Structure 1
Amino acid sequence: MSLFQRIADLQGDRPWGAMLDAGTGRNSMRWLLSLETERWTAVTGAASMARQVETELGTRTRDADRLVVGNWTDPDLLAGERYDTVLADYLLGAIEGFAPYWQDRLFERLHGLVAPGGRLYVVGLEPYVPQLPDTLDAAGSLVTRIGRLRDACLLLAGDRPYREYPAPWTLRQIERAGFRVLHAEQVPIRFGTRFVDGQLDMCTRVLERLDDRALAASLQTHVDALRMHAHMHIAEHGGLRHGHDYVIAAEPI
């Protein structure tokens, strides 16, 4: 079952009404377009992501639907607006790239956008990069090594990696922001080749920007070897079973 289907199950017969996708991407937009909403607003902090979402949208927008490029640290962004359903799909982890050290303010910021009686749905990822690969099974070691290599390449290229937060931290922040938590669950992850190639292709792209070409070449060799090992494990075991996503449903008090 997909995480979006889990949210739909939690929503039940409640109308989606006016919906805010607070950290939109192609996947969440594809799902949003399948719902019976009155209108929607989708926000991204990156113009490049907005272009990808526009490609996904095509001509499937109504007059009241909006795609907005903005930063949640801007108090004027959607000021005074209210939504019946607010989705924060992996938004917490992505905030680091646009508003570092502001994660503890995110749910306070979203609280004012949820209409009375409305719902907030949060999808997050339990942090896996800080884990020690040598203490994990083969799948966990591969996933963690991929994450560490990706983040190392991003930092060397001058970029900021995502910063994920565990579910207990997220639940505390949601409650402190004035929400009542209605449901929280963890969902096991099975990573496939799409994850492996997506993360390691990112390494290859940013390594092109390194001035130290010897270092870049050495890291690329590591990227290629890790990709091969991960693909072999997936072919033999059907995926990399490690870690958890989480889904949280909350309502304003």
Structure 2
Amino acid sequence: MREQIDEYTAITADEGMRRNVLKEATTLGIEKEGNIIIGNWQSEGPEEEELCHGEMFDTILADYLVGAMDGFSPYYQDLIFPRLNKHLKPGGRLYVVGLNPIPHQADGDANIFCKVTKLRDACILLAGHRCYREYPVEWIERHLENAGLKIVGSSQFPIMYSHAAIVRQLNVARSKLPLFPSKALAKEMGEQIDALERESKAATDRSPTGRLRLGFDYVVTAEKPLE
């Protein structure tokens, strides 16, 4: 049984994600209990025009927010927790979900995913778009404390990549090829994507579990002190 939700506000800067969240809310039967809106925390202008001005919440969930900010509000990452803290009630909790940065390289077959992420990001940049930028759990904890919040918990969850999960990242790279400045470059990069897909299939097939372990997701829980 889920906890009772009196009211919620869900915010994303991406229209596709807004539709996904609305679908999930509908599945949970809570679509009428809140609002799902397009917005950006990096607002300019008078304070009264800021996103969620005057709203206060018992709980705030920053779900992979910091990692996505470089794509929508670059160079604002160090200010996001003070910004969210403005909307957290005393005694309320902020949950930060994130992905620890993928290493530049790794031992064994898991290194294939490091190669995939580098190729994916190269395609994003060549298409004229911005990449996401993940932050390590230590950075998150440090900036939460700098914002005046108390760390009350931190958990890590190892990631096991299936071949299907790897292909999803390669498909992100493929989706950028039509935007390349050169058709020849797009053709060459497409061949590299295909080669990495074959290499990743061989690597996951060698694994007893059919998956490659690399890195981890985390959840950091911070609490606002009672006034």
TM-score, structure 1 length as denominator?
0.80
Specify the SS of the correspondent of 2:179.
coil
Question: Do 2:57 and 2:89's aligned partners in 1 also have CA atoms closer than 8 Å?
Answer: yes
Amino acid at match of 2:56: R
Amino acid at match of 2:224: P
Q: Does 1:98 align with 2:72?
A: yes
3-state DSSP of counterpart to 1:244: strand
- What residue is the counterpart of 1:46 in the other structure? 14
Q: The residue matched to 1:43 in structure 2 has which SS? A: strand
Matched to 2:21, the amino acid is V
Specify the SS of the correspondent of 2:83.
Answer: helix
SS at match of 1:158: coil
CA distance in 2, matches of 1:54, 1:208: 30
Work out the CA distance in 1 between the residues paired with 2:69 and 2:93.
Answer: 21
Q: Distance in 2 between matches of 1:212 and 1:188?
A: 39
Q: Residues 183 and 56 (structure 1 numbering): CA distance in 2 closer, same or farther, change over 3 Å?
A: closer
Relative contact order, higher structure (CA 8 A, sep 6+): 2
Return the alpha-carbon distance in structure 1 between the equivalents of residues 42 and 21 of structure 2.
22
> Does residue 153 of the first structure (1) align with residue 123 of the second (2)?
yes
Return the alpha-carbon distance in structure 2 between the equivalents of residues 163 and 34 of structure 1. 32
Contact persistence 1:139–1:242 (CA under 8 A):
no
Output the amino acid matched with 2:96.
Answer: V
Out of 207, 211, 215, which is 1:239 matched to? 211
State how far apart, in whole Å, the 2-side matches of 1:87 and 1:149 are.
31
- 2 CA distance for matches of 1:242 and 1:64? 38
Segments of structure 2 that go 5 or more residues without pairing to the other structure are none
Alpha-carbon distance between aligned partners in 2 of 1:185 and 1:58, rounded to the nearest angstrom: 29
1:174 partnered with 2:144: yes
Residue 208 of structure 1 aligns to a residue whose secondary structure is helix
> Following superposition, which runs of at least 4 residues in structure 1 exceed 4 angstroms of deviation?
none
Gaps of 5+ in 1: 1-32
Counting aligned pairs with the same residue, the percent is 39
Instruction: Write the distance in 1 (CA, Å) between the matches of 2:152 and 2:67.
Output: 22
Do residues 79 (structure 1) and 53 (structure 2) align?
Answer: yes
How many angstroms apart in 2 are the aligned matches of 1:235 and 1:80? 53
CA distance in 2, matches of 1:124, 1:61: 24
Aligned amino acid, residue 216 of structure 2: H
Mapped partners of 1:87, 1:127: distance in 2 = 20
**What are the Cα deviations for residues 115-134 of structure 1, in whole angstroms up to 9, with x where unaligned?**
111111111111115x2x3x
In 2, Cα distance between the equivalents of 1:185 and 1:55? 28
1:166-203 deviation line (CA, Å, top 9, x unaligned): 11111110000110000113221111133212111011
Task: Give the whole-Å Cα distance in 2 for the aligned partners of 1:55 and 1:164.
Answer: 26
Aligned-pair CA distance for 1:52: 2.8
Q: Tell me, yes or no, if the aligned pair for 2:116 and 2:169 is still in contact at 8 Å.
A: yes
Matched residues, number: 217
Do the aligned partners of 1:39 and 1:62 also contact (CA within 8 Å) in 2? no
Of 38-47 and 230-239, deviating more is: 230-239
Secondary structure of the structure 2 residue equivalent to 1:86: strand
Q: Secondary structure at the match of 2:82?
A: helix
After superposition, residues 89-238 of structure 1 pair within 5 angstroms as 89-129=63-103, 131=104, 133=105, 136-237=106-207, 238=210
- Deviation of the 1:58 alpha carbon: 3.9
Q: Give the conservation status (yes or no) of the 8 Å contact 1:46–1:69.
A: yes
RMSD value, Cα: 1.8
What is the CA-CA distance between 1:42 and the residue it aligns to? 0.6
Distance 1:64 1:36 in 2: 10
